[in-house]
Amino acid sequence: MISLFHYQTLLKRAPGVAFTADIWKSGARKYYISLTAHLFDKDFEVVPLVLSLRQFTERHLAVNIQSFIKFELDEKFQIMPKQRAGITTDCGRDMVAATSNGLFGPRYACIAHVWNNVVKNGLCLWSPPNST
C-alpha cells in the first residue's frame, strides 16, 4: 500500500499534474465521488494516482463539489496552482460549474461521456423524440 507521504512526494516533484473527477450512483443508490491525478515520473512513464474515492453525502451543488476538490488539492496533497495542468470531467451541470473557474487548471470535457451522450441521443435511447 502506498502511503500518503509517497503520494505527496510524487506530486511535489511533478511539474504538471492533470486531474479527473466524477460522481456516480451505485446500485445501492449511494453516490460516490472520485478524484484522480495523472503525471509522468522521471522515466516519462504515466503514473495514475487515485487521490480520493469516498461516498458523497452532500447535495450535488457546484460549491460542494468544488470544496471537495479544493480540499484534496490544497490541504491534503498540497498541489501548487502552477502544477495544475487541467481537470477532465463529464458534462453534468454542477460538475462543469464546479471546475470551470480555473482553480484546477483548464476544464476539459471527457470525450467518452460526450460520445456516450451523442450515441444515446442519436439512437433515442434516453427518451423518445417528440412526435410533432
pLDDT averaged over the chain? Answer: 91
Report whether CATH 1.10.3470 matches the domain 4-122.
Answer: no
Phi, psi at 103, each rounded to 5°: -65, -30
Instruction: Give the model's pLDDT for residue 49.
Output: 95
Cα(82)–Cα(49) distance, integer angstroms = 19
The pairing of strands 46-55 and 31-40 is antiparallel
Report whether 89 contacts 21 (CB < 8 A): yes
List the domain boundaries for the chain.
4-122
pLDDT at 128: 63
Q: Is the pLDDT of residue 1 over 80?
A: no
pLDDT value at position 123? 78
- Please state whether the predicted TM-score (pTM) of the whole model is above 0.75: yes
97 Cβ contact partners less than 8 Å away, ≥ 6 residues apart:
62
What confidence tier does 44 reach under pLDDT thresholds 50, 70, 90? Answer: confident
CA 31 to chain centre: 14
pLDDT tens string 54-109: 999 999 899 999 999 999 999 999 999 999 999 999 999 999 999 999 999 999 99
Residue 87, number of CB atoms within 10 A of its CB: 24
Work out the pLDDT band at 6, boundaries 50, 70, 90.
confident
| Helices vs. strands in the chain: H and E counts, helices first | 4, 5
Give yes or no for a contact between 38 and 59, defined as CB atoms under 8 angstroms apart: no
